């Protein structure tokens, strides 16, 4: 039995404000089973929430299906106004919501508050897009008729969100779905359900109609979600998570030819050329590596530095990483919080040990911290060979793996030598080289002289085994719309 974690008065109040039930049809619904939510900084229990079974998932889809027609008929301006109210409510409540995210996920408070602001921006962006859904009109090329093109909501959507950005990833899916006129069933990660339950409450207070958004928390996602995926009333699946699970879900979606968006795993290369501004490159690498304690699909996984500047860059990055304070995310000035669970620590430790056994050298960090919680310090490895396991799998932790290259062609070849293609980073002061390399890299996104690419106004997504479709930007709402052609005879 889990020991309950000791919380400050403010922390206890924040946790106690979160509803613990399932949100189905505009009402909070209890279950016989419960799902523990654990503080990754202590390994102790924060609280318990409802643990849905297949019957609860079915009820959630029933509610979404029943609400679909009316929500699709709702004027775009009304949908937009609702999203704007949610945007303002999130910003007004950033301290409480940020604290909830820190307690259940571990990230430092400053980052958690930043995530809430990031989530809010998705609601604002798609509030603006909701009133700009266009179509087309043209004469038939052969004469005698007209072509009308309109776009309509795809229908009830299943949204599966990850644990690492528990508020923002939900917002990135829910906001465009609602803007397009789709209802949805949301299944948050079992490790971090509180942020999504809090978001459901915020949306309900903002005037969300019953059944438009339904939230089911469960310890058995396959049992709950598989029947919904195979139900022909579900017309869209948006998933953020591992490539392995994404492939399984794609196979299930093929049964009903369901529309899918897949934001899957990454293996991001970060290339530093000899003509780069090294101060800028170090700051960019720090941002690309350490966002969310390295637990991000966009994290720089393979840092490749041109040989002539590799030593200087590595020393500078190691000095910066070694100075990052480690601790519970609620503590002042902490930058490196805990990893999500003990398995994550075991994975990172194994990857570091494997790299060292293959010849890599540790400049700082390199071993888990003693004591309670899932803490691993910021770590820098140099001379990491291409056959190290961490070069072929997401590290998902605060470990910077540095290798060396000699030529531009070698850098591009090694960067592309992966089945993944989510994001890459390039640091160079040579504009021609920058454009050449960015165009040659096989990723859906590239950061040129910057270590953060995520922005609600930009299309987020990858190629190859990193996924399908895009979230955010001008194309994000298209994932929830069907194009209909109407031929008119004159």
CA within 13 Å, CB half, 449: 13
SS3 label, residue 159:
strand
Q: Is 487 exposed, middle or buried (0-12, 13-18, 19+ CB in 10 A)?
A: exposed
The one catalytic residue in 297, 438, 471, 479 is: 297
Cα separation, 212 vs 181, in Å, equals 9
Strand partners, 184: 157, 213
Q: Which tokens go with 81?
A: 């106004």
Q: How far apart are the first and last CA of the chain?
A: 74
Query: Can you tell me which residue has the tokens 């070698």?
Result: 410
DSSP readout, 223-249?
Answer: HHHHHHHHSTT--EEEEES-HHHHHHH
In this structure, what are the phi and psi dihedrals at residue 70, rounded to the nearest 5 degrees? -65, -40
The one catalytic residue in 121, 129, 263, 394 is: 263
How are beta strands 184-187 and 213-215 bridged, if at all? parallel
Residue 274 among the catalytic residues: no
Strand (E) or helix (H) holding 145: strand 145-153
Residue 263 among the catalytic residues: yes
Cα separation, 394 vs 381, in Å, equals 15
In this structure, what are the phi and psi dihedrals at residue 368, rounded to the nearest 5 degrees? -60, 155
224 CB-near residues (< 8 Å, 6+ apart): 52, 53, 54, 56, 57, 187, 216, 218
Cβ distance 468 to 260 under 8 Å? yes
Q: Which tokens go with 438?
A: 């960015």
Instruction: Supply the residues annotated as catalytic.
Output: 263, 297
């Amino acid at each position: 039995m889990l020991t309950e974690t000791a919380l400050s008065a403010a922390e206890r109040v924040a946790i106690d404000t979160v509803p613990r039930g399932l949100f189905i049809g505009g009402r909070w619904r209890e279950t016989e089973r419960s799902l523990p939510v654990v503080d990754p900084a202590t390994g102790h229990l924060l609280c318990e929430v409802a643990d849905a079974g297949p019957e609860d998932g079915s009820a959630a889809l029933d509610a979404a299906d029943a609400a679909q027609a009316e929500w699709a008929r709702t004027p775009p301006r009304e949908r937009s106004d609702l999203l704007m109210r949610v945007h303002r409510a999130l910003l007004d409540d950033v301290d409480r919501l940020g604290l909830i995210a820190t307690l259940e996920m571990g990230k430092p408070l400053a980052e958690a508050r930043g995530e809430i602001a990031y989530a809010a921006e998705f609601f604002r962006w798609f509030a603006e897009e909701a009133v700009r859904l266009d179509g087309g009109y043209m004469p038939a090329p052969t004469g005698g008729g007209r072509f009308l093109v309109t776009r309509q909501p795809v229908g009830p959507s299943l949204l599966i969100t990850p644990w690492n950005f528990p508020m923002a990833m939900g917002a990135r899916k829910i906001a465009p779905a609602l803007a397009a006129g789709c209802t949805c069933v949301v299944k948050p990660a079992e490790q971090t359900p509180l942020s999504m339950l809090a978001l459901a409450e915020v949306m309900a207070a903002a005037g969300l109609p019953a059944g438009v958004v339904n939230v089911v928390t469960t310890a058995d996602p396959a049992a709950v979600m598989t029947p919904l995926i195979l139900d022909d009333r579900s017309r869209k699946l948006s998933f953020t998570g591992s490539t392995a699970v994404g492939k399984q879900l794609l196979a299930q979606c093929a049964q009903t030819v369901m529309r899918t968006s897949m934001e899957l795993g990454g293996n991001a290369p970060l290339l530093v050329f000899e003509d780069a501004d090294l101060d800028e490159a170090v700051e960019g690498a720090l941002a690309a590596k350490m966002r969310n304690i390295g637990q991000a699909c966009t994290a720089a996984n393979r840092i490749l530095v041109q040989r002539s500047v590799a030593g200087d860059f590595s020393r500078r990055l190691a000095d910066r990483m070694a100075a990052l304070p480690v601790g519970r995310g609620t503590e002042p000035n902490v930058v490196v919080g805990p990893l999500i669970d003990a398995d994550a620590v075991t994975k990172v430790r194994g990857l570091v040990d494997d790299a060292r056994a293959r010849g890599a050298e540790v400049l700082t960090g390199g071993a888990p911290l003693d004591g309670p919680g899932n803490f691993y310090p910021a770590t820098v490895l140099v001379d990491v060979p291409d056959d190290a396991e961490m070069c072929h799998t997401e590290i998902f932790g605060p470990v910077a793996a540095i290798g060396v290259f000699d030529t531009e062609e070698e850098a591009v070849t090694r960067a592309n030598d992966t089945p993944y293609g989510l994001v890459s980073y390039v640091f160079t002061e040579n504009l021609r080289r920058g454009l050449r390399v960015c165009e040659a890299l096989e990723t859906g996104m590239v950061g040129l002289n910057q270590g953060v690419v995520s922005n609600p106004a930009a299309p987020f997504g990858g190629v190859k085994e990193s996924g399908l479709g895009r979230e955010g930007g001008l194309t994000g709402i298209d994932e929830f719309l069907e194009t209909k052609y109407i031929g008119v005879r004159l």
